[in-house]
Structures are given as C-alpha cells and as structure tokens.
Amino acid sequence: MTIHGDERSGEERKKAETTADELVGLFPPGTRTDSDGTLVVGGCRLDDVAAQFGTPAIVVSEDALRQRARDYLGAFRSRWPRCDVAFASKSFPCTAVQRVMVEEGLHLDVAGGGEIRTALKAGADPARILLHGNAKSDDELGLAVKHGVGLVVVDNFDDIDRLERIVPAGHQQPCLVRVIPGVEAATHASQATGHAGSKFGLMPDDARSAIARIERSAKMRLDGVHTHVGSQLLNIEQLAQAVEPIAKLGTFEVYDLGGGLGVRYTYDEHPPSLDEYAEAMVGQAKALLPAGSRIIVEPGRSMVANSACTVYRVTTLKRGVVTHVAVDGGMGDNLEVSLTGQRFEATIVDRVGGGETVSVVGRHCESGDQLVDGVALREPSIGDLLAVPVTGAYCYTMSNQYNGARRVPVVFTRAGAARLVVRRDTWDDLLMRDVD
C-alpha cells in the first residue's frame, strides 16, 4: 500500500526523498546515470549488461576494484613501509578477483584448499599466500606445504601436530600463531572473532605454549603472530585494541593485524575512512611493535564490497498491507540479510532515488528471503530492472542453489566493455553431482 502525504512517517518521508546522487554514492566509484537516467557502472549501462548476461548478475567495476587495492597499499605503506596487504579471499573467492589483487601487488589470504587452488590459478606466488582455518585437514596442509605457501597461520595445537607429521625432513614451514586478543567486537555475533571463547585462535597463555613448541620444531619456523577482531567493524578503536595483546607476546619478525574494517551499506552508516583506519592501526604499531618488523593487514569486505552491485528483474508486484516487490533472485545470491541482518539499499535501474516505500523480496520459499525491507522505489512494475549496491563482499561467497536456483554470474565492467568472468550455472550443473 502506498502511503501518501502526512500519513507517512518521518522515516518513510526521508526514504521517499532520497536523491539520485545519494543512491549513486553507494554504487562503485565512477558510477553515474546516463542521459535517460539509467545507471552506468564501469562505463556500462546496467540494462545493457542485463540484456547480455541475464539476471540476477553480480556486476563489478574493475577500475574500482583495482583502485581500492592501490589505495590500501598506499595508505599503509606510506605509514609503515614494511607492510603487506593480503586480500582476504573468502570475501570474494572468485579467481578473476584474486587475479586483480595479485596484479596490483597484494598477497592473498586463503581459507582452505579450494581457495589455495583458485589463488594458484589466479597466478599468485605461493610465497605470498597465507593459509587460515580453525580446522585444517591433512590434505589442505599437505597442499600448502607441497606448493610452498608462504605462511600457515597456526590456529591450534592440532595444526602443529599435523605440520610436524606432513612437512618433509630437511624443510621448514613458516608459521604465524593466531592469538585471541580478548576484544568484544561491536558487530553481529556471527562476525565477531576476537572475544574470549572464539573458535578461532588461542588465548595468550596457550599461544605462548604454541610459540615455544614451534620454536623447538625442526619442521616449523615461527615468523610471528596473528590476530583478528571481527568483520564489519565501524569502530576503529576496537580494531586497534588487538595490537597490544600480540605485542606482549614478544619480539617477532611478523605481526599480522588482521582485517575487519566495516563498509557503508546504507545511508545511515558512516564507517571510518581508509586513511583513518591505517592511521589508527599504524599508530598502535609504532607505539607497541619493533620498528623494523613487518606487519600484515588482511582486508576483505572493505576491499571489495563497494566494487559491485547486483542486478535483478522484478517478477511480481503485490500490494496490500505491505507492497512486496519480488525479484528473480534473493537468498540464493545474497545470504547476508538472512544470516547477519545486514541492511542494503536498492533502486530501479532507470529511475534512481525516491518513490514509495516497499519491501523487496526474493523468489525462494522462505519468509526470511527478504532483500531490502522499507526501501523507496519509484513506480516499480513487472519487468523493471532493480539494482542493489555494495554486494561485492560475501554475496558471491555464499551463493547457493536453494530451490534449484542457478548460481549467478559475475561480470566485470571497465571503460564501457563488459566481460563474463564467472558464468551462470546451467541446468546440467544442478544435476552433475548425481551418481544415480
């Protein structure tokens, strides 16, 4: 039901009055509207991209992706020259994305054997790969050792047992020990990793024992320590708090400070800038860490989220107590809403900003399949293209085949040209693992 005039709440009026410029500001840098009002990402009109590759589709501005990588390197190395930036592949584990990061001079942080394989396919130097994981298998550690992965982040004592068994005689595997910093992160519970009781890493006393054990090992080399507070953190003070606990463990060659910087998904969110983040982290490093040490940061969400948007087609419009605008995707290509309650925004591709307050829902048989609740769309109708910005992080990662949905493609746009880097599932893909 459309709400008119004074009957609308203040919040609804604010949404209805959202300008095109405000909404475009959530899309990848460089996004604009064409002369007829249609969104243009990476020089490509989104209606042309949809016509060529279908919907739903994740559309990535390659220039935005590359520039963010350069900005990260610049922000940290200008403050701490011996700083490496390792892209947290789990946030967008697409080979083409990893390849961009490699080409821009970043290291790759991987979690598991699959991401090792995509990183190698992307052309990463194995020595510039870091392997994470709280439950690494023999096969995964064997793969890392075989290919010469530069750093294995030891999460537990079982990792040490396995490496001592797997690493060949006469060789040493460089390692970091992951430390729980004891920071209660102000984020969704599923995204907090630095609190006491986290499944990741070791409390400081246990970390000391792991450090001592690795230092005695003939098959492992202790390069340093690692910590991580969580994801989608908008408070940089909490991120910086993690430096002190690892500094207290001793003097090492490497201190990995993790990632976790939050991004702007909605009009109301105002995350710290990259420079503010770098200043806070390096400020703590200068105060607490040895001057000649190497530091590593591991951005994931804040590296890729704003580089992409997802384009859908409106399939159903249902008016009643709530106006439901249903699209041809949903929790099959964006689980962030259902899993973490993350808020997104949306717009009709050729009518950007303002309009009536509606609920954008997906096609899956779950009431929780809701992409954006209470968003302003201008005159939505069946067949319209709808775009959701800031979908570069974890949407592709968690894409699935729920209700027999075909996983969505990834399209890179640059200088007016669009190219497919991940194809859409075929119907045969849905059946390919059946053995009977």
**Hey, which residues are catalytic here?**
365
Coil, helix or strand at residue 74:
helix
Residues 69/330, Cβ–Cβ less than 8 Å: no
Residues 346/386, Cβ–Cβ less than 8 Å: yes
Give the containing element (helix H, strand E) for 314.
strand 308-318
Say if residue 142 is exposed, middle or buried (CB neighbours under 10 Å; 0-12, 13-18, 19+).
Answer: middle
Reading the block at residue 386, the tokens are 């709808």
Residues 60/270, Cβ–Cβ less than 8 Å: no
Phi, psi of 25 (to 5 degrees): -65, -20
Residues 307/97, Cβ–Cβ less than 8 Å: no
Give bridge partners of residue 318 from the DSSP assignment.
324
Contacts of 52 (CB under 8 A, 6+ apart): 418
Coil, helix or strand at residue 384:
coil
- CA distance linking residue 97 with residue 52, whole number of Å: 21
- CA distance linking residue 370 with residue 393, whole number of Å: 18
Reading the block at residue 323, the tokens are 């106006």
Residues 296/227, Cβ–Cβ less than 8 Å: no
Residues 224/217, Cβ–Cβ less than 8 Å: no
Residues 70/48, Cβ–Cβ less than 8 Å: no
Pairing label, strands 254-256, 39-41: unpaired
Pairing label, strands 39-41, 44-45: antiparallel
- CA distance linking residue 409 with residue 328, whole number of Å: 14
Give the containing element (helix H, strand E) for 351.
none
